[in-house]
Amino acid sequence: SLSLSLIREQNITQQQQHGAAAMAKDPVRVLVTGAAGQIGYALVPMIARGVMLGPDQPVILHMLDIPPAAEALNGVKMELVDAAFPLLKGVVATTDAVEACTGVSVAVMVGGFPRKEGMERK
């Protein structure tokens, strides 16, 4: 219908305007610890979409996790790259804290560790 066509045109125009505005800003480097875990995995696409820093702020995501999660972390990186988020200008996926923190302006630290036998939540 005509109204749907107009809405689509408006959406495309808004996306183009946001894209142009995003190109004018330098990317912010954002660190997410525990990025291969459930919470980190849910957060990184939201950050890449602009939910955290705004729809016109490009980002470079630095993702840190523990060595046993390295394979899952690389999987998260591949998913982000495949999604082709317009605001996502780079992804660093590492198990090295120094590499992960280099040049970062914002850090979201959400990693956790599962309880083992004998551990209690109090």
CATH number (domain holding residue 72): 3.40.50.720
Between residues 42 and 7, the one the model is more confident about: 42
In-domain check, residue 49: yes
- Asked whether residue 116 is assigned to any structural domain, the reply reads no
Rounded to whole angstroms, how far apart are CA atoms 110 and 2? 46
The residue ranking higher by pLDDT, 16 or 94, is 94
Point out which residues pair with 93 in neighbouring strands: 63
pLDDT confidence of 24, banded at 50, 70, 90? confident
The residue segments making up the domain with residue 17 are 2-109
Is residue 121 in some structural domain? no
| Distances, alpha carbon 85 to alpha carbons 49, 54, 97, 115, in Å | 6, 13, 25, 35
Q: How many domains does the chain have?
A: 1
Tell me whether residue 47 is in a domain. Answer: yes
